[in-house]
Amino acid sequence: MQQFFLPFTTWYFRLQQTPDFLKSLQEYQTTSGNSGALRFLFYLLLAVFIFFVAWLIYRIALGSNLASRMTVFRAQSRQQLKDLAVKKLTALQATVEQMNVFFKMMGRNDDYNTVITDPVTFEDYLNAYSRVEKDKNKLNIAESLRNTFRFSFSNPDVPFASTHMLPVKQTVRVYLTRGFKRVDYLSIIARNDSNNFAILPPKRNGVWVKMGDLKEVEIRVFREKDSEYQFFCPIKWQSESVVPLIYLGHTNKLIKIFSRYFKRYQLELPCRIARVSEDNLKTTEPVKVMTKDISKGGVALLVPKELLISANDILEITFIDRKNFSTLYGRVIQYNLLDTPQQMILNVEFTGITEVERLLIERFIRQVLETKQQN
């Protein structure tokens, strides 16, 4: 038996010693080792992938639950804010129709308190609502909220935010500019609605003036216990009625005038003042007063408190011993009561003044100041 397998054993032993066999064995061992490493890496990556999928499913489930809870929380918070708004609207005596329009105007936003208390935010929401709402009755109800929230021009506790707040019969000063020519006149608010507002045109020789191709007007208005405001409005059209009203577009770009345009100089000058009508007719007897300061654009007057003069009154101011600009007209911007029981200060802005008169006033001021320095 051994003799039978001996040739085969000898052949296999010799085969193991051949270079080809050794090379094949080394390649097999190398391949076998690489396959083991690859299998290990494959199982490792599979485990990582399974872990990632499980973690992702957990996070999605957790996030969904959290989002659901956040949605419920937001809904509850929004409902609480809405309930609080209803209480405030009820306290302000808003009608059911006003409340319904108010919440429709708010849409998905929930800053109810800001809209109820801030006129600027209210006007923003109202403007956005007016662009999408076609029902005029609902628009009128939305407009009525302005009065319900007490966003009126006469309320000094709220800022003057839009020309929508201007009341009918409010006196304003209108500036018309065509080329290098600039004139101004006193007017009043004749109408005011959600789309536009109307002012009275100026008069010339007792006849209403047509605006022609004028595209824009500058308006200034003074609010008691606040300041003077300046804004520009586009002219939409002028009516063909007996009184050709000028219809203007609304604006919320209001400039609060904190300081005077021209520098004022502390000069005491004697002058006489008298209140006049829009047609420059005297309505009071001239009274002798003194200036507190003066500039090219206006003057501050020390006047007796018993004079019945208020803001927006027009004054005829006659400077004594001044020939070139002896008589000027001005509008009372504001008046300040002094500690003394006899006098108050009237801040007056010159109206209808020409550039030549401004030049003469400037020369006069310079002359007086130079005389004081020499003395």
Give the tens place of pLDDT for each residue, 167-215.
998 888 888 888 778 888 888 999 998 889 999 999 888 899 998 889 9
Average pLDDT over residues 64-83: 67
pLDDT of residue 31 exceeding 70, the answer is: no
CB 316 within 8 A of CB 280: yes
Give the confidence band of 351 by pLDDT, cuts at 50, 70, 90.
confident
Give the confidence band of 34 by pLDDT, cuts at 50, 70, 90.
low
Residue 219 main-chain phi, psi, to 5 deg: -125, 140
Residue-level pLDDT at 218: 93
DSSP class per residue in 173-234: EEEEEETTEEEEEEEEEEEE-SSEEEEPPPEETTEEPP-TT--EEEEEEE-TTS-EEEEEEE
Average pLDDT over residues 311-338: 76
Q: What average pLDDT is seen over the chain?
A: 80
Whole-angstrom distance, CA of residue 334 vs CA of residue 331: 9
Task: Please give the residue that has the higher pLDDT: either 11 or 101.
Answer: 101
pTM beyond cutoff 0.85: no
User: What share of the chain in percent tops pLDDT 70?
Assistant: 80
167-257: CATH superfamily: Electron Transport, Fmn-binding Protein; Chain A (2.30.110.10)
Give the confidence band of 363 by pLDDT, cuts at 50, 70, 90.
confident
Q: E-assigned strands of 35-149?
A: none
- Where in the chain are the domains? 2-60, 96-148, 167-257, 270-374
Average pLDDT over residues 41-50: 81
pLDDT of residue 17 exceeding 70, the answer is: no
Rg of the chain, C-alpha, whole Å = 43
270-374: CATH superfamily: predicted glycosyltransferase like domains (2.40.10.220)
Whole-angstrom distance, CA of residue 302 vs CA of residue 335: 10
Give the tens place of pLDDT for each residue, 108-126.
888 888 889 888 889 889 8
Give the confidence band of 102 by pLDDT, cuts at 50, 70, 90.
very high
With b for 16 or more beta-carbon neighbours within 10 A and e for fewer, the 80-113 pattern comes to eeeeebeeebeeeebeeebbebbeebbeeebebe
